[in-house]
């Protein structure tokens, strides 16, 4: 039985991997980001979330902002050497020296309905069952509970959420079919030593994006 999450927020940034320097968002939330929101609300080793559909509730709008970022990271090997007393160096980043401004193309006034279901895994306890998990999820959505604060692509853009009992009408500007191009489906964690991204050809039909299942030929690595 699918669960519907109504999620909304001021901004969203679902970065296209082909953009190397300036961050540019996909037109809508990606299935991997939607799964991350579901995990933040209710995660359990005995279940795995599968995203079925994403319903876009607001017109797609972009805005450009400039954000302060650091252009370097602490070198773990050098830090280990210093901590072991075998060399000299810094264990921190001096922000005034490493800061730089980068432009980001964000989504604004984002609102979606995430339609998802969960599958039981082999890590479920004997007392775990779908009915039990369904009741817990429903209760958490109604109370606004989460294990960690969900966010739209980056932690700067938190998600408001609640249980969706009725689908909103499709905005006029989203009616029809729109090709969204290749979109990140999710990361393949089947081999921990070789985690790879998977993509699919996304389409928005009357404001609804149907996400292909993991075994679909539409999902390509």
Tokens of 218: 């539409």
Report which of 176, 180, 33 is spatially closest to residue 112, judged by C-alpha positions. 33
The pLDDT value recorded for residue 95 is 64
- Residue spans of beta strands (DSSP E) within the chain: 3-12, 23-24, 47-56, 62-70, 99-120, 160-163, 177-188, 196-205, 208-210
The pLDDT value recorded for residue 14 is 96
Q: Which region holds residue 53: left if phi is over 0, alpha if psi is between -120 and 50, else beta? A: beta
Q: How far is CA 194 from CA 15, 111, 163, 189, 213, in A?
A: 22, 34, 36, 8, 21
The pLDDT value recorded for residue 200 is 96
Please tell me whether the overall predicted TM-score, pTM, comes out greater than 0.95 for this model.
no
What is the full per-residue pLDDT of the chain (221 aa) written as tens digits? 789 999 999 999 999 988 877 899 999 999 999 999 999 999 999 999 999 999 999 999 999 998 777 777 767 777 777 777 776 766 667 667 777 788 899 999 999 999 999 999 999 999 999 999 999 999 999 999 999 999 999 999 999 999 999 999 999 999 999 999 999 999 988 888 888 999 999 999 999 999 999 889 999 97
The pLDDT value recorded for residue 89 is 65
Tokens of 169: 């009408």
User: What length does the chain have?
Assistant: 221
- Residue 161 in 3-state DSSP? strand
The pLDDT value recorded for residue 221 is 79
Q: Judge contact between 188 and 198, C-beta under 8 A.
A: yes
Q: Judge contact between 69 and 102, C-beta under 8 A.
A: yes
The pLDDT value recorded for residue 85 is 74
Report which of 157, 212, 207, 186 is spatially closest to residue 57, judged by C-alpha positions. 207
For the chain, which domains are there? 3-65+103-210 (3.30.70.2660)
């Amino acid at each position: 039985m699918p669960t519907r999450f109504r999620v909304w927020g001021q901004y969203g940034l679902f970065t296209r991997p082909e953009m190397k320097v300036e961050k540019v968002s996909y037109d809508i939330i990606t299935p991997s980001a939607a799964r991350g929101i579901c995990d933040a609300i209710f995660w359990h080793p005995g279940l795995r979330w599968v995203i079925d559909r994403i319903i876009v509730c607001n017109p797609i709008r972009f805005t450009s902002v400039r954000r302060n970022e650091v252009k370097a990271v602490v070198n773990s090997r050098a830090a280990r050497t210093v901590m072991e007393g075998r060399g000299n160096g810094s264990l921190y980043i001096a922000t005034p020296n490493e800061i730089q401004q980068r432009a980001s193309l964000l989504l604004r006034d984002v609102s979606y309905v995430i339609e998802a279901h969960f599958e039981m895994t082999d890590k479920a306890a004997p007392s775990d069952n779908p009915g039990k998990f369904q009741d817990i999820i429903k209760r958490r959505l109604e109370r606004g509970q989460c294990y960690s604060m969900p966010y739209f692509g980056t932690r700067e853009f938190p998600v408001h959420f609640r249980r969706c009992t009725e689908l909103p009408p499709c905005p006029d500007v989203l009616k029809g079919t729109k090709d969204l191009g290749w979109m990140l489906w999710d990361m393949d964690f089947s081999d921990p030593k070789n985690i790879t991204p998977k993509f699919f050809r996304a389409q928005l039909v009357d404001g609804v994006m149907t996400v292909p299942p993991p075994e679909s030929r539409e999902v390509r690595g």
